[in-house]
């Protein structure tokens, strides 16, 4: 069965349209936050590596708790 494209919006109930909008916003927020967290994590890692380099520490000299 081939898809012929999206169904016209007029055939969807208002409840369905609201649910679609809420789901879209939720997914957009989730992935935006995921990207932001990844960027923050990378910045913290680079900052840590810079401090370690300035203090002359190597990876194997770091104490992990």
With 50 as the cut, is the pLDDT of residue 1 above it?
Answer: no
Give the C-alpha distances (Å, rounded to integers) separating 10 from 7, 14, 57.
Answer: 8, 9, 64
CA distance 42 to 46: 6
* Helix/strand/coil percent split, the chain, to 5: 70, 0, 30
Contact 52, 62 (CB under 8 A): yes
Q: Where are the domains of the chain?
A: 19-51
Chain segment 2-59, per-residue pLDDT in tens: 556 565 557 889 999 999 999 999 999 999 999 999 999 999 999 998 998 888 887 6
């Amino acid at each position: 069965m081939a898809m012929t494209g999206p169904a016209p919006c007029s055939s969807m109930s208002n409840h369905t349209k609201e649910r679609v909008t809420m789901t879209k916003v939720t997914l957009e927020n989730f992935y935006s936050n995921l990207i932001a967290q990844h960027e923050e994590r990378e910045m913290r890692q680079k900052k840590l590596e810079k401090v370690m380099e300035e203090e002359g520490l190597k990876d194997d000299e770091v104490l992990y708790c």
